[in-house]
A and B are shown apart, each in its own frame.
Chain A
Amino acid sequence: MEYIMIFIAAVFVNNVILSQFLGICPFLGVSKKVDTALGMGAAVAFVMTIATIVTFLMQKYLLEPFGLTFMQTITFILVIASLVQMVEIILKKVSPPLYQALGVFLPLITTNCAILGVAIIVHQKDLSLLNSVIYAISTAIGFALAMVLFAGIREQLSLTKLPKAMEGTPIALLTAGLLALAFMGFAGIA
């Protein structure tokens, strides 16, 4: 039950993009087509899960025992940056099709604040390793969901005539606002 609650809360109620404002850059940047949105979502899910596990172990077995918690931010961001590189190299060797699908998105992920955000949040919430992993996966699903929904709307939107000043980012932000409003309807269920 606890796991389902974490899942629902992270996907719908506290959606990472629409209510926590993490990962907005890719949300606005690579959401013009549903395909690319899906690819980005998958790449983020992949890296976020691995990054959360690795940073969790680093924090518990390296930083905390040696009293080095003040190095948290530096350690986490370096872990994430090198993980992204490693995932890229490994994918290229092991699974070329998957690399073809996710490859272009990987370099963008280092500066996706949702990844670092989740790595830090699980320590602030004091979750166990298993709960952290579930939280990371759910957050990533929430991210992918918001991306795909948004991309679907934007595909339609690109066919609409708009006042010049509203074209591009302004209308995208307004759309995101309405989507966030819709997601507020989920509040209170978990």
Chain B
Amino acid sequence: MSKIKILTNGLVKENPVFVLLLGMCPTLGTTSSAINGLGMGLATAFVLMCSNFVVSLVKNIIPDKVRIPAFIVIIATFVTIVQFCMQAYLPSLYDSLGLFIPLIVVNCVVLGRAESFAAKNSPVDSIFDGLGMGLGFALALTILGGVREFLGTGRIFDIAIYPESYGALVFVLAPGAFIALGYLIAVINKLKAKN
């Protein structure tokens, strides 16, 4: 498989959120605005890339039976690194993402890719897979965050499009997350059926 193909695979065809339906908790929990969605997506992408690379490097020295715990330790290490760096250099983003940063550890996308791709492929391919999947995840979160922010407050990336008082507040709140994602997936199903 060519590198480009691996990259775009995660971005569109096997988009972790819209197609594989993985990592739903951060998808719904952190997308009250486009910028939060983007921040969360990029943090996850970084962890995914690094853990994929390391898992692929050490895959041969890990006995099969302790494969999962070993992967989890590797993932948790990168998650904690991201957590500290964000706390130090992007404190306001850290405050708004809060609990969901340490919870990247249990994001099924990350462990899923380590297990199904990185444990079988070369380190370089694994980086590309991690990057593709990570960017696909970030893209999905940014779109969902943008839609919710637009419908809820009339802005996108904090730029006002229409007056806030016309916004449907519910989209910023919890129920809106479920509803917006439901319709987005329905739209994507429809597009897929057409092709």
A–B contact at 8 Å CB threshold (below) = yes
Digitize B59-101: 1 where CB-to-A-CB distance is under 8 Å, 0 elsewhere.
0000000001100110011011001100000000000000100
Which residue of A113, A170, A181 contacts B103 across the interface (Cβ within 8 Å)?
A113
Establish whether residues A174 and B182, one from each chain, have CB atoms under 8 Å apart when the complex forms.
yes
Size class of the B contact interface (CB-based, 8 Å): 35 or more
Establish whether residues B103 and A116, one from each chain, have CB atoms under 8 Å apart when the complex forms.
yes
B187 interfacial by beta-carbon distance below 8 Å? yes
A117 to chain B: which residues have CB within 8 Å?
99, 103
Q: How far is the CA of A112 from the CA of B175 in the complex (A)?
A: 21
A129 interfacial by beta-carbon distance below 8 Å? no
B137 to chain A, nearest CB (A): 15
A78 interfacial by beta-carbon distance below 8 Å? yes
Establish whether residues A18 and B174, one from each chain, have CB atoms under 8 Å apart when the complex forms.
yes
B124 to chain A: which residues have CB within 8 Å?
none
Q: Residue of B at shortest CB range from A162? A: B186
Chain A residue total in the interface (Cβ 8 A):
43
Establish whether residues B103 and A164, one from each chain, have CB atoms under 8 Å apart when the complex forms.
no
B107 to chain A: which residues have CB within 8 Å?
113
A18 to chain B: which residues have CB within 8 Å?
174
A130 interfacial by beta-carbon distance below 8 Å? no
Digitize B14-42: 1 where CB-to-A-CB distance is under 8 Å, 0 elsewhere.
00000001101110110000000000000
Establish whether residues B187 and A120, one from each chain, have CB atoms under 8 Å apart when the complex forms.
no
| CB contact list, A138-189 vs B, under 8 A | 163-166, 169-174, 176-178, 180-181, 184
B22 to chain A: which residues have CB within 8 Å?
25
A73 interfacial by beta-carbon distance below 8 Å? yes
B172 interfacial by beta-carbon distance below 8 Å? no
A177 to chain B: which residues have CB within 8 Å?
175-179, 182
Please report whether the interface of chain B is mostly helix, strand, loop or mixed according to DSSP: helix
Which residue of B25, B72, B80 contacts A81 across the interface (Cβ within 8 Å)?
B72
Q: Residue of B at shortest CB range from A181? A: B175
Q: How far is the CA of A117 from the CA of B111 in the complex (A)?
A: 17
Given known contacts A73-B80, A164-B193, A180-B174, A173 and B105 CB-to-CB distance under 8 angstroms: no
B19 to chain A, nearest CB (A): 10
B185 to chain A: which residues have CB within 8 Å?
169-170, 173
B160 interfacial by beta-carbon distance below 8 Å? no
A112 to chain B: which residues have CB within 8 Å?
106
B83 to chain A: which residues have CB within 8 Å?
73
Establish whether residues B174 and A78, one from each chain, have CB atoms under 8 Å apart when the complex forms.
no
B156 to chain A, nearest CB (A): 21
A182 to chain B, nearest CB (A): 9
Name B's A-contacting residues (CB within 8 A).
Answer: 21-22, 24-26, 28-29, 68-69, 72-73, 76-77, 79-80, 83-84, 99, 102-103, 105-108, 111, 170, 173-179, 181-183, 185-187, 189-190, 193
The 3 closest A-B pairs by CB, nearest first: A173-B182, A177-B178, A21-B29
